[in-house]
Amino acid sequence: MVKGKKIRILIGDDRPVFRAGLRKLLSREREFTVVGEAENARQVLKQVRELKPGVLLLGALLAAPNEDGFDVLGELQRKHKNTRVIILASSEKEEDFLRSAQRAAALISKNSPFSLLAQCIRRTDAGEAWVDAPLMPTADRSPSTGPEPPGGRGMEATPLSTREKQVVELISQGFRNKEIAERMFISEQTVKNHLHNIFDKLGVSDRLELALYAIHKNLQAPQQRAMLA
């Protein structure tokens, strides 16, 4: 974020009390400004179109297609790509997790502390992907039985080279290409080449999908998996 520039936030949720409480908390942060609220999916789209927020905090119920087939996430992807969507999720079902996460910039639990939400907003506004650890499917976070081989079971089961695995680990931790290049002592172009090969091998199309794939397939570094467990 440019120094001195405020992050413009729109809150979309069907519960007035929740919106009011969240707005009050956000107003305490100097770099945040809440530009509006919306109580249903169509109102969300209208407010995004008129107010042009940088970040949309969207309740999980509004993120899902409603009874008449209106899909607010689909509309936002097609018409308002400059607004970064953070889904405030409550479901831990794997299918719900994947469906929402693949179409939003970030996914965070409604039970997260506000300090974590604030950090999520800042990093999402800066263009990074964010996936809240408590929302990972429990099957992927359960401890494995028996000793784990160096690099992790998931890592050994992938078609990736050693360097590509290192890139995946850093991507899943939220590092950008320049930071990855510095940590691996390679050029940014080499990082891009690695990413191209990784996307092709794993069948993913962007960094968020890659981070989700890494989490679901247990492709993080051992110390990071311990933090998520």
End-of-domain residue from the set 78, 101, 135: 135
Do both 20 and 122 map to the same domain?
Answer: yes
What does the pLDDT read at residue 31? 94
The two tokens of residue 138 are 């429990």
Q: Are residues 151 and 218 in the same domain?
A: yes
Mean pLDDT for the stretch of residues 51-68: 80
CATH number for the domain that contains residue 152: 1.10.10.10
Are both 156 and 54 inside the same structural domain? no
Residue 81 lies in a domain: yes
Asked if the structure places residue 1 within a domain, the reply is no
Same domain, 159 and 175: yes
In whole angstroms, give the CA distance from residue 90 to residue 208. Answer: 20
Phi-psi category of residue 69: left, alpha or beta, with phi > 0 → left and psi -120 to 50 → alpha: left
pLDDT digits (tens, 9 = 90+) for 64-120: 666 555 678 888 888 898 999 998 876 555 445 555 556 788 888 877 788 889 999
Q: What is the CATH number of the domain that holds 73?
A: 3.40.50.2300
Predicted structure pTM score: 0.59
Q: Which amino acid is at 169?
A: E
Domain range spanning residue 197?
138-228
DSSP annotation string for 18-61: HHHHHHHHHHTSTTEEEEEEESSHHHHHHHHHHH--SEEEEEHH
| 42 and 106, same domain (yes or no) | yes
| Pair (118, 32) in one structural domain | yes
Is residue 7 within 8 A of residue 1, CB to CB? The reply is yes
Domain shared by 110 and 156, yes or no: no
Q: Which among 20, 214, 50, 28 is positioned nearest to 114, based on CA atoms?
A: 28
DSSP annotation of 174? T
Residue finishing a domain among 135, 169, 203: 135
Give the C-alpha separation, 61 to 44, whole Å.
Answer: 12
Q: What's the first-to-final CA gap in the chain, in angstroms?
A: 31
Sequence-distant (≥ 6) Cβ neighbours of residue 171 within 8 angstroms? 180, 195, 207, 210, 211, 214
Does residue 111 belong to any structural domain of this protein? yes
From the number of C-beta atoms within 10 Å of its C-beta (0-12, 13-18, 19+), residue 203 rates as exposed
Lowest mean pLDDT among 73-77, 147-151, 168-172, 214-218: 147-151
- Domain boundary (102, 135, 168) is at 135
